[in-house]
């Protein structure tokens, strides 16, 4: 069994031209990647417990990437990929997020940018957080 390690992860996010950019060196944390089924409550009056049925729709919760803010003009830097994109409009194209957990094991999903935050610190380096909302099917390979 091969376990995923931080050193073996690769995170890619496409730029405005649709070209995947490896942003691994700009990401220091990523939240849980929750792939789940949507359920509907089905309990009726008189039931003592909640009951649910799957409705055949899946979803992924928002994904947050964060790390040290880098304001250079590098094609794969957080400032280039995330700044000046909020609010996104219905005409905005989705951008592909791919997380490679270990060699050959990936999670890929189309996303929209929900928010982009810069956090200055008087005693440290400025950090960024980008919050992405997945849309559509998740491909697990």
* pLDDT score recorded for residue 1: 52
Q: Cα separations (Å) of 9 from 33, 64, 77, 97, 123?
A: 14, 16, 17, 13, 29
pLDDT in tens, the chain (141 residues): 567 778 889 999 998 888 899 999 999 999 999 999 999 999 999 999 999 999 999 999 999 999 999 877 666 888 889 988 889 999 999 999 999 998 779 999 999 999 999 999 999 999 999 999 999 999 998
* pLDDT score recorded for residue 2: 64
Given the candidates 3.30.43, 1.10.357, 2.170.120, 2.30.110, the CATH classification of the domain at 6-140 is: 2.30.110
Domain boundaries, the chain: 6-140
User: Is 0.85 topped by the overall pTM?
Assistant: yes
């Amino acid at each position: 069994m091969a376990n995923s390690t931080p050193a073996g992860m690769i995170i890619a996010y496409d730029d405005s031209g649709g070209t995947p950019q490896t942003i691994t060196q700009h990401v220091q944390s990523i939240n849980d990647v929750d792939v789940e089924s949507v359920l509907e409550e089905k309990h009726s009056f008189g039931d003592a417990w909640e009951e649910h049925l799957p409705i055949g729709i899946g979803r992924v919760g928002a994904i947050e990437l964060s790390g040290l803010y880098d304001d250079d003009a590098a094609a794969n830097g957080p400032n280039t990929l995330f700044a000046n994109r909020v609010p996104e409009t219905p005409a905005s194209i989705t951008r592909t997020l791919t997380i490679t957990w270990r060699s050959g094991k990936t999670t890929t999903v189309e996303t929209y940018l929900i928010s982009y935050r810069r956090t200055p610190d008087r005693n440290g380096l400025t950090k960024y957080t980008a919050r992405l909302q997945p849309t559509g099917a998740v491909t697990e390979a």
